[in-house]
Amino acid sequence: MKVSGFNLLSDQDIYLRLLVKLYRFLARRCNASFNKVVLRRLFMSRTNRPPISISRLIRKMKMPGRENRIAVVVGTVTDDVRIQDIPKLKICALRVTDGARRRILKAGGQVMTFDQLALASPKGQGTVLLSGPRKGREVYRHFGKAPGTPHSHTKPYVRSKGRKFERARGRRASRGYKN
């Protein structure tokens, strides 16, 4: 039996609920898969809607055939101070941080909401659906082969980083063994 994932919104945010109503209607009435994907992503938990930085957004929008398209992010767009010059971007996102919004608008870009996108492009024509790195969270560094075992690059849960913490047995050959 196929498990279809979430189809109800657990969030009590009334604006998000209105977006779900809108995209549920569009997914039903338009034969475009874009609306179905957006609806599915609106249902996702926050960990599955990771933020995307302006730098990643620029990199993804520089790809051939993506000029003059709307970058659609079901999540947050964050600023990246490492990037000096920002090209003109047209963005639709659930949330855009103040710094990112200021820089996009200063570059002559445009920031849209999903209800504005539904009017501008009901079938998702001229859009690029993007998302942040889902495994970008710090917790993923602790997952995997046990820390300290051979060829493991897993980050250990250590109280502190220092001379006296997890530096002896298993780390040095003179103290038992070295992995």
- pLDDT above 90 for 9: no
The DSSP bridge pattern shows strands 110-112 and 52-53 to be: unpaired
Over residues 119-128, the pLDDT tens digits come to: 999 999 999 9
Structure confidence at residue 11 (pLDDT): 78
Residue with tokens 């971007």: 89
Residues 167, 117: one domain?
no
Residues 111, 41: one domain?
yes
Instruction: Specify which of 141-145, 147-151, 163-167 reaches the highest per-range mean pLDDT.
Output: 141-145
Residues 141, 114: one domain?
no
Structure confidence at residue 30 (pLDDT): 92
Interhelix angle 54-61/98-106, nearest 10 degrees: 40
Over residues 56-85, the pLDDT tens digits come to: 999 999 999 999 999 999 999 999 999 999
**Token representation of residue 166:** 């997890």
- Residue 51's CB: how many other CB atoms inside 10 A? 19
Distance (Å, whole) CA 29 – CA 85 = 41
Mean of per-residue pLDDT scores for the chain: 93
Structure confidence at residue 161 (pLDDT): 93
Residues 111, 176: one domain?
no
Residues 52, 85: one domain?
yes
- The pLDDT confidence band at residue 10, using thresholds 50, 70 and 90, is confident
Q: What is the CATH number of the domain that holds 86?
A: 3.100.10.10
Share of the chain above pLDDT 90, in %: 87
Q: Which of 36, 40, 26 is nearest to 122 (CA)?
A: 26
* Residues 6 or more apart in contact with residue 146 via CB below 8 angstroms: 152, 154
Q: Looking at the domain assignment, is residue 154 inside a domain?
A: yes
Burial class (CB in 10 A: 0-12, 13-18, 19+), 5: exposed
- pLDDT above 70 for 1: no
Over residues 88-142, the pLDDT tens digits come to: 999 999 999 999 999 999 999 999 999 999 999 999 999 999 999 999 999 999 9
Bridge partners of 130, per DSSP, are 73
How is residue 111 annotated by DSSP? E
Number of domains observed in the structure of the chain: 2
Distance (Å, whole) CA 13 – CA 155 = 36
Structure confidence at residue 2 (pLDDT): 64
